Amino acid sequence: MKTLTDFRYASCLALSISLVIFVGTTMAQSMPQPVPQPMAQPTPQSMPATSNMVNPQRWTEPDVTPAQKLSTATKEAVNAHQQFLDECKSGSSAQYAACAAAVHQTYEQERADIRRRFPQ
């Protein structure tokens, strides 16, 4: 008789635990979940003023001489050329040749414009 009572007790306990888990899970699924809100973008006023966040002096000084302007324009053209070539690589290999040719043609036009604006 004791074995039957132990079995009934264990069965009741297991059933109770299963019921609690089922009800808890069902309630958790039926409760509305909070909607994540987008984070606010930092503004210059909200950002801490640390020395590593300040632009170097050379970035804020304008180009004055024609040589400086030529150097900056050349660097910008070279960097843009490389950036666009990298974007061509993200496409299919069949399209890469046409994309690279268009990028190179644009680069050559920019270089010709730079030479026209800053004759040496």
Pick 83 or 24 by higher pLDDT: 83
Closest CA to 9 of 89, 28, 17, 83: 17
Q: How confident is the model at residue 46, as a pLDDT?
A: 57
Closest CA to 77 of 104, 120, 111: 111
Q: What are the pLDDT digits (tens) for 33-90?
A: 566 666 666 565 555 555 556 777 777 788 888 899 999 999 999 999 999 999 988 8
Domain ranges for the chain: 1-30, 65-117
Q: How confident is the model at residue 41, as a pLDDT?
A: 61
- Check whether 91 has a pLDDT greater than 90: no
**Residue 14 identity (one-letter amino acid):** A
Residues 45, 50, 55, 58, Cα dihedral to 10°? 140
Q: What are the pLDDT digits (tens) for 101-113?
A: 999 999 999 999 9
